[in-house]
Amino acid sequence: MTYTHARDDRLIRKALRMFDASRLHNGLTQSRYPCRALQIIPPFSLYYISMLHDFSRWRNDRAFVRSLLPGVRAVMDYFASIVRDDDLVGTPAGWNFYDWVPHWWPGVPTEGQSGVSALVNFQVVMTLKHAAEVEEYAGEKEIAAIYRARAARIEIAAGEAFWDESRQLLADDTKKSSFSEHTQCFALLGDALDPQRREKAIEGLLNDPSLIRTTIYFTHYLFETYFLLSQGQRILDRMNLWFGNKALGLKTLVECPEPPRSDCHAWSAHPAYHFHASILGVRPAGTGFDRVVIKPQLGLLEFASGTTVHPLGLITTDFQSLSGGLRAIVELPQTLSGDLVFGDATHSLKPGRNEFMI
């Protein structure tokens, strides 16, 4: 959210440094630091790498990214150490929290605390690919190749272990007793499925009402998946978790649905990011944010506009739906260029004002 709202990135840099400073001897980061009480949430160690991946895309500071690579490698080495002989990732040591789903107590999916979890495996695949991009950005192509090869082995093994042919979906566990939006999201975001299974997983994610649904926290990844699939209206449809806050008398955002564990929780603010990055569709075109790609997904909205922060200045977007088409006005900072993508059409964007009728 900070990347889209502020040029000042000191808080982001400090968060990255603090997670790095919290690392234990086994390579995992602490989930909160500094703190008197030791708490280890292994998925958060993976998110730490994805945080640095975000930084490498939304900002351009190779030296800062390079300074944190030893910590990235330490986390990746820990997860490499628990890969089994069958190429599946075993159970990480700690609290494997993923979402406050009512019957995932305490926030841990089926087989997430013992056994083999699809969420863990597909998150590791996604994170290995993020780590590879970060290493490549820093000039370490050989390490990037190692991560990609490891990701390929795990995704093949996980696909075979968790794919349920009768449901045409990925299960959360090897017994195939549980199916969630969460697992489909990580597999799709990590590009971990062959084309045929990918299409079936997409169909199930969009249309199977029996899937365990994400709550506030993990809905960020659901929204990322909807954006990937050009499903902007579905993002808006799932905003009821937020639009209902006012009726409850709340002026801040809750941690989870009723009963809320906290009435004011930072992770619930992610729609403020998605209004910019998913509805307006403003995102970096690659590492360093030297180009922008804008893919508006208005759904049933008649219009949408906003001002998104870029290190070089402000990106302003103004979109109006026109019976299957789009009127688009985009203004970019000087020296920034990019592309506007709508449907099957791609239009080049130059610095300054751009106007299209698509």
pLDDT tens digit sequence for 238-273: 998 898 888 888 899 999 887 878 889 999 999 999
Q: Residue 330's pLDDT band (boundaries 50, 70, 90)?
A: very high
Helix, strand, coil percent content, the chain, rounded in steps of 5: 45, 15, 40
pLDDT at 244: 85
Q: How many Å apart are CA 147 and CA 285, to the nearest integer?
A: 22
Q: What is the pLDDT of residue 248?
A: 85
pTM of the complete model:
0.96
**Residue 316 and residue 262 in contact, taking contact as beta carbons nearer than 8 Å:** no
State which CATH number among 1.50.10.10, 3.40.640.10, 3.60.20.10, 2.130.10.10 fits the domain covering 2-213: 1.50.10.10
- Gap between the Cα atoms of 237 and 230, Å rounded: 14
Encode pLDDT of 149-166 as tens digits. 999 999 999 999 999 999
- All structural domains of the chain with their residue ranges: 2-213, 303-357
Residues paired with 316 in a beta bridge:
307, 331
